[in-house]
Copies of this chain bind each other. A is one copy, B any other.
Amino acid sequence: MNLKQLSELLGLSQTTISRALNGYPEVGEETRQRVMKAARETGYRPNRAAQRLATGKAGSLGLVMPISPEQSSDIHFAEFQSGLAEVCLRHEFHFVIIPSQPKEEQQAIRGLVSSGAVDAYYLAYMREKDPRIAMAKSLPVPFVVHGRSLGLKTDYPFLDVDNEGAFREATDLLIGLGHRRFGLLNGPVELDFAQRRRLGVDQALTSAGLTLSENAITNGPMSDEWGYRHMKHLLGLPERPTAILCASTVLALGAVRALDEAGLVLGRDLSLIAHDDDLPLLKPQNFTVPLTTTMSSLRNAGRRVAERLIAEITDPQHGPPLQEVWQAELVVRASTGPAPG
Interface residues of A (CB under 8 A from B): 2-4, 14-15, 18, 22, 46-47, 49-54, 56, 65, 67, 72-75, 77-79, 81-82, 85-86, 88-89, 94-101, 103-104, 106-112, 114-115, 117, 131, 135, 138, 223-225, 228, 250, 253-254, 257, 260, 279-283, 286, 288, 299
The 5 closest A-B pairs by CB, nearest first: A50-B111, A78-B78, A73-B82, A89-B99, A53-B115
Question: Given B81, B86, B224, B286, which contacts A280 in the complex, CB threshold below 8 Å?
Answer: B224
Chain B nearest Cβ from A214, distance in angstroms: 28
What B residues does A131 contact at CB under 8 A?
A: 4
Q: State the copy count for this chain.
A: 2
The prevalent SS among residues of A at the interface is: helix
Known: A46-B111, A73-B280, A257-B286. 10 other contacts (CB 8 A): A2-B104, A14-B106, A18-B107, A54-B112, A74-B82, A85-B99, A89-B99, A94-B99, A224-B281, A224-B286
A44 and chain B: residue at smallest CB distance = B107
Which B residues are in CB contact (< 8 Å) with A100?
47, 49-50, 89
B75/A75 in contact, CB under 8 A: yes
Query: In the complex the two chains form, what is the Cα distance from A89 to B68 in whole Å?
Result: 10
A67-B86 in contact given A78-B73, A110-B50, A111-B53 (Cβ < 8 Å): yes
